[in-house]
Amino acid sequence: MLRDVFQQLLSGSISRRQFLNRLGQLGVGAMAATQLADVFAAVPESEHNVILNDVTGGRITCETLKLWGVQYVFGNTGAYEAGFIDALVDFEDIHYVLGLQEGSVMAMADGYARITGQTSFVNIHSITGTANALGMIVNAWADSSPVVISVGFSERSGENLGVFTETNKLETIPELFTKLSFRSSRVENLGESLRRAFRLASVLPGGPVFLGVPSDVWAGQCKLTSLIPASRTVSTSRIHPDSSAVEQAAQWLVDADNPLLIAGAELPRWGGLAELATISDQLGATVSGDTSSSRSSMGFPSDHPRYLGAMRGAIQTETPFDVVLIAGASRFSLSRRGHPLIPTEAKIIEIGLREEHLARSYPADLLIYAHAQETLGQLADAIRARNPNQRKKISRGRVAGELKQQKVAQRTEVLERVWDSSPIAPERLASEINQAIASNAVVVTEGVSSDAAIWDYMTFDQPGGGRRHLISSGGSLGWGVGAAIGAKLGAPDNQVIALVGDGSYQFAVQALWTAKRFEVPMIIVIFNNLGYQANRWALAGLGGRAAETGHYIGISLDDPQIDHVGIARAYGHEGERVSRARDLGDALKRAVAAEQSGGVYVLDVLVDRRGGGADADWHEKHVPQFSS
């Protein structure tokens, strides 16, 4: 009885006076009752539990989304989700974003979560939707994207009877690529299940959480439930580093002859780029991006005088790096194809939150498991307190500056050499895009074999309010276009451009319909090399029969050529194919103008094929005798 009275006060269904009277009737003294009323009055309204009476599971879901500040539901539903979708009708501030295929739905939610830092919500259908979404769930898992994936199951009365699309233990299918994969089998527990899913997805390092909900739970009735708000669920505190470890790291860096700082994947996601730049400025230290194989987002200021860009090979210096600070790196390696990327005798300091990436295949002399931004901020303070030697700083800065000049000179020489190439060089395409788009654009890349040109010839500056970069390290194609749509929904005031390969684009064309339905303006540039170039490189690298014969099976997309722009037009968009380098500038101007007018513009750009087997024109073609 006492609990019911408290819930009635919290929900506003009784007044303070009625609350005091009812406590008196239950034998609670006047002074005690007054103190209890004062305690409840002191709790901010935003932190009150939400008490719901006689509600459906669908309504519970919608109220939970409201408590967590969810603006968009990314979905493609079936009959099992009807109870939720019906309740959503009355929640006009929560917008349903329909995708035509579940992979695109997941990619949109992933892009939204990455750009906003907020947990996104997906709603898909049974085993069929789960199977279609699984590749993009892998991408979200690889990059710790906070996404709650709700999936409708067949009703409980048909369990183990082989009803339509029933799959025993469906929640176990995605569990390898989620922080938790579970089901909620009672309406009364649905609110707590959703809260648990949101909490686990959002706590750093984030990640997808899978929640199965039987159809009769969403459609079923609950007499009374209490929803706990996000403010009383998720901690806003960060994992702080051990102070002695910070002091040790600071001393090593100050004493180093030539320290190297590595800006890893965690920094663009959760902060720390500005702090790392400060440390570089304090020490005169060289800064490198993550290794190219990690497929980490760029974001460190490209024009920083000591920043070299993505690490694609060993950094050659006369003075070897003797202390290496790895900050939030992803799949980092000390060597590539047997060749060391950094000196093996260097002391290694590593900072990060993602346990599976820390000291992954190498020793760490000082391992700091903590939030990178918090740690780097404290490290900068500790370095400042040591008043670093200015002669050392100047000496290190000279080395770093020379490395930067060498990188710039190499890139300039390559660009000049390929500028007039036909087909168009990826380097020129990336360079012209860099000149054409906004200085604060969000650049979403899934160029695969063309990513190196994007890293080298496009500029980013996330901590300075400049361009941001989103990329997936999961390897499931079809992410780029959907992720760009989600990014635009999350950053409506920023220009968004998706740079994708021709193979990647074909995995994601259904997302174009969503862009039209919801009037999501953006630019899509296809780096079209007429095939799966990265796969051809792998075959050529074997030096086997494919390389000997020029028969690269499963590579060519050249016959028949795909009308990528025609597909975009079928979904209501505009675009053009560009095959001559001199036409690039004007085509990009048209793309930008279309985007600024609220449309989607697709540029299909024929780019130069590179690497082993680039000249091979063979493709598989079996012509059986079909009866007419």
48 and 76 in a single domain? The answer is yes
130 and 208 in a single domain? The answer is yes
CATH of the domain at 513: 3.40.50.970
Judge whether 63 lies within some domain: yes
The answer, yes or no, to whether residue 426 has pLDDT greater than 70, is: yes
227 and 247 in a single domain? The answer is no
Residue 485 corresponds to which tokens in the numbers above? Answer: 């749509």
Position 182 scores a pLDDT of 96
Judge whether 185 lies within some domain: yes
Judge whether 627 lies within some domain: no
CATH of the domain at 322: 3.40.50.1220
Greater pLDDT, 2 or 611 = 611
Q: Nearest Cα to 53, choosing from 232, 229, 228, 221?
A: 221
Q: What is the mean pLDDT of residues 311-335?
A: 83
444 and 513 in a single domain? The answer is yes
Gap between the Cα atoms of 295 and 312, Å rounded: 11
485 and 518 in a single domain? The answer is yes
Judge whether 140 lies within some domain: yes
Q: Which domain holds residue 151?
A: 44-232
Q: Nearest Cα to 309, choosing from 290, 293, 328?
A: 290
Judge whether 620 lies within some domain: no
Rounded to two decimals, what is the model's pTM? 0.90
Q: What is the mean pLDDT of residues 205-233?
A: 93
322 and 408 in a single domain? The answer is yes
Please check whether residue 458 is in contact with residue 497, taking contact to mean a CB–CB distance below 8 angstroms: no
225 and 337 in a single domain? The answer is no
Domain boundary among 359, 394, 413: 413
The verdict on whether omega for the bond into residue 259 sits within 30 degrees of 0, i.e. cis, is: no
Judge whether 183 lies within some domain: yes
538 and 571 in a single domain? The answer is yes
The answer, yes or no, to whether residue 620 has pLDDT greater than 70, is: yes
Position 236 scores a pLDDT of 81
334 and 483 in a single domain? The answer is no
Q: Nearest Cα to 358, choosing from 348, 344, 345?
A: 348
Judge whether 238 lies within some domain: no
280 and 392 in a single domain? The answer is yes
Position 164 scores a pLDDT of 61
Judge whether 195 lies within some domain: yes
Q: How many domains does the chain have?
A: 4
Domain boundary among 232, 261, 279: 232
Please check whether residue 211 is in contact with residue 175, taking contact to mean a CB–CB distance below 8 angstroms: no
Gap between the Cα atoms of 437 and 597, Å rounded: 14
Secondary element (H or E) of residue 262: strand 259-263
Please check whether residue 403 is in contact with residue 308, taking contact to mean a CB–CB distance below 8 angstroms: yes
Q: Nearest Cα to 215, choosing from 133, 128, 157, 149?
A: 157
298 and 196 in a single domain? The answer is no
Q: What is the pLDDT of residues 572-614, one digit of tens each?
A: 999 999 999 999 999 999 999 999 999 999 999 999 999 898 8
Strand 72-76 and strand 95-98: the pairing is: parallel
70 and 208 in a single domain? The answer is yes
